[in-house]
């Protein structure tokens, strides 16, 4: 299943069951194509955007106009192209704030949002999209960072990790991420293969590979990966590349070591 189709499917279930869809967008470059696909044609038409609420998994402490901004990327590829009520987009505001101040503000905003509605256990995001860096970080939860241990907040701040951009960050915490109904990792590229193997084959803990700490309490966890990212996985051994040479994406359920054989194009 393509990432964009997984989002359409999750929206249909959430809106059908609970009357609205609480979506957390990932930053980075990997989801850009999916956001663009989601903003077009039958996929865009398949979602009642008046019932969608958009949040962010993390943000870089740069202005929204900066090319490194996750909000900026989401606006360019999705939010600026669909009819979502502006009051239902909850960006991580960065301008004129410290990272700690921005984190406290977002934490309070999430608290207000979920406290205001008994339909959702707090916080009950319907779908959280996550990427993963080649060091195994996710959102802005970096290896050995203090943010990994934040248990009494849903958003916190972090100094830069080892990968670019070298700016402070604000990120959702494990408690916020692991209370989601569905978490969908989207991971592409061979540089990420060692970290992915470590995580999916249970070789590393969250201090070393923070994405390993994403284990939804009651929700589902799926990894959509391309063949390059999966090249070191036992489960991918012997699967030849697609004749067209396009590295497809495949789905992996939560439990490490559980193979999946069905790969599809992104």
Q: Does 195 bind ligand 6PG (CB under 6 A)?
A: no
Site for ligand 6PG, residues 31 to 70, rule: CB under 6 A: 57-58, 60, 70
Q: Which of 14, 21, 28, 110 binds ligand 6PG (CB under 6 A)?
A: 28
Spatial CB neighbours of 130, under 8 Å, sequence gap ≥ 6: 26, 57, 138, 139, 177, 183, 184, 185, 186, 211, 214
Q: Which of 72, 91, 123, 131 binds ligand 6PG (CB under 6 A)?
A: 131
Task: Indicate the residue whose CB is closest to ligand 6PG.
Answer: 131
For residue 145, the minimal CB distance to ligand 6PG (Å) is 12
Q: How far apart are CA 126 and CA 119, in angstroms?
A: 12
Q: How far apart are CA 5 and CA 38, in angstroms?
A: 8
Q: Does 247 bind ligand 6PG (CB under 6 A)?
A: no
For residue 19, the minimal CB distance to ligand 6PG (Å) is 29
For residue 67, the minimal CB distance to ligand 6PG (Å) is 12
> How does DSSP assign 145-212, residue by residue?
-GGGG--S-SEEEE---SSSP-S-EEEE-HHHHTT-SEEEEEE-SGGGHHHHHHHHTT---TTTSGGG
Using CB under 6 A, list all residues that contact ligand 6PG.
26-30, 57-58, 60, 70, 131-133, 137-140
């Amino acid at each position: 299943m393509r990432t964009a189709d997984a989002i359409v499917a999750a929206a249909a279930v959430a809106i059908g069951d609970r009357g609205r869809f609480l979506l957390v967008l990932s930053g980075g470059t990997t989801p850009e194509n999916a956001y663009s696909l989601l903003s077009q044609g039958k996929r865009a038409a398949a979602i009642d955007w008046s019932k969608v609420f958009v949040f962010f998994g993390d943000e870089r402490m740069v202005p929204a106009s900066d090319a490194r901004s996750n909000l900026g990327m989401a606006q360019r590829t999705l939010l600026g192209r669909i009819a979502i009520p502006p009051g239902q987009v909850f960006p991580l505001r960065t301008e004129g704030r410290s990272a700690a101040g921005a984190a406290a503000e977002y934490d309070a905003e999430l608290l207000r949002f979920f406290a205001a509605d008994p339909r959702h256990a707090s916080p009950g995001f319907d779908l959280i999209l996550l990427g993963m860096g080649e060091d195994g970080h996710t959102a802005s939860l970096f290896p050995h960072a203090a943010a990994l241990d934040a248990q009494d907040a849903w958003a916190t701040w972090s100094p830069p990790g080892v990968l670019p951009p070298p700016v402070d960050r604000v990120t959702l915490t494990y408690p916020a991420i692991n209370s989601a109904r569905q978490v969908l990792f989207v991971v592409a590229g061979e540089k990420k293969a060692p970290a992915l193997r470590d995580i999916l084959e249970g070789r590393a803990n969250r201090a070393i590979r923070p994405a390993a700490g994403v284990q939804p309490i009651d929700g589902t966890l799926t990894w959509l990966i391309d063949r390059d990212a999966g090249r070191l996985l036992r489960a991918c051994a012997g699967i030849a590349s697609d004749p067209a040479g396009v590295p497809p994406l495949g789905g992996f359920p939560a439990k490490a070591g559980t193979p999946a054989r069905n790969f599809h194009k992104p």
